[in-house]
Amino acid sequence: MAHSSSSPSTVAVRSGPLVGSIRVPGDKSISHRALMLGALAIGRTDISGLLEGEDVLATAAALNALGASVMRLGDGRWAVDGIGVGGLAEPEDLLDLGNSGTGARLLLGMLATHPITAFLTGDASLRRRPMGRVVEPLSRIGARFVAREGSRLPLVVSGAAQPVPISYRLPVPSAQVKSAVMLAGLNTPGVMSVIEPQPTRDHTERMLRHFGARVTVEIAEEGQGRRIAVEGLPELTAAPVVVPGDPSSAAFPLVAALIVAGSDVTIEGVGINPLRTGLLECLHEMGADISLLNERDEGGEPVADIRARSGTLTGADIPADRSPRMIDEYPVLAVAAACARGRTVMRGLAELRVKESDRLAAIAAGLASCGVRVAVEGDDLVVDGADNHPAGDALIEARLDHRIAMAFLVLGLATNRPVRIDDAAPIASSFPGFIELMNGLGAAIAEDG
């Protein structure tokens, strides 16, 4: 497969046992929301454990451009001096959200009910991603958008001077769309509500309550899914936030420990929000040796230390309704499936086609090039495990996708021959220090040439 000559490829080779205790970077979803709600609160919000990846830093820069004061105090420690609900100022320049779909979609929600005009753009990957799913409900509230075909970035948003609360039924489960509508509701008189057909991650609801907003969650009248309502024009008050370790990042060393013989790894302080633990359920069904230790609550979010030990995994049938609770973990679950005994079927993965890359195609192509029997059947991914060590000996196109890059580096630790990825640079968007952390446990990952 072709790869750019500008950056060296990165290679993972079969590893000895991975052993040790680590911390992974802060939860990306919670980091974005802590900055945004801190900006809309009155007073100073102190944040610890913030993910300092490129995506979150792009959100911080955008909020500074909108009139909040977002300052880094030290390693993972940040302070946000908020400007209150309704206080966003018109930015003087483009807001560049880099690779962050979360940052872009949630920020559009905030901007939609402020009477200002802003121009948003992002990197090549983000400019390909569809924004129509948030543009549609935000237009109903009264915001106006000018965008490229398919509502793609770069785009212009002019917020509504007199926003109208709506009740919006999500056409597909999406925490980002739900959150965008709820954030728009903060600066809208009345009650804004979202009906979701199946539960998606609820970090926005939890954090809104943490900052003093009134949020209710109830069974929708139609009996289909949940209605989440937020009362407009609250006085949000600054509140300290401890950001737990990101379960989507923890997934990579976790699966590595399961598939590399003799491994015993503990990942400390990981968020175990029940709407994010789909991967843990899948791995338990596959027979993984995983235990949760020291369970506790921090800043409204459940947290635990996760211990993973290697062992034999067996294939499983993963139901479609689990996907909202693990949408970012399918690349690394596919790696676990490739090293398992028997067949794993992951159902209902249409959403993977519109992530940082077409992840479904990228996973299938990468596994096939490593000698794994794999098929995409409609929206299902079928992986026939190699019962321990797949062949490897492949160069994987990461397609500017951090999770594809990390998943195949993890696979390379268990394959018979090395696995290379064409470009490791995107990993910094969500997991700065990933390679160093893995090598500290005993992995063998290095730049290749």
Q: Is 73 exposed, middle or buried (0-12, 13-18, 19+ CB in 10 A)?
A: exposed
Residues 6+ apart with CB under 8 A from 46: 77, 78, 79, 240, 241
Catalytic residue among 96, 328, 401, 423: 328
* 27, 241 contact by CB (below 8 A): no
Instruction: Give the whole-angstrom CA distance, residue 111 versus residue 187.
Output: 10
d(CA 168, CA 301): 26
Sequence-ordered list of residues with C-beta below 8 angstroms from that of 293, at least 6 positions apart, any chain:
266, 304, 305, 306, 307
In the residue annotation, 328 being an active-site residue is answered as: yes
Please check whether residue 302 is in contact with residue 273, taking contact to mean a CB–CB distance below 8 angstroms. Answer: yes
CB 19 within 8 A of CB 442: yes
Edge-to-edge strands, sheet with 444-448: 392-396, 417-421, 9-13, 444-448
Contacts of residue 220, Cβ cutoff 8 Å, sequence gap at least 6? 195, 226, 227
Comparing CA positions, the residue from 137, 388, 118 lying closest to residue 260 is 388
Residues annotated as part of the active site: 328
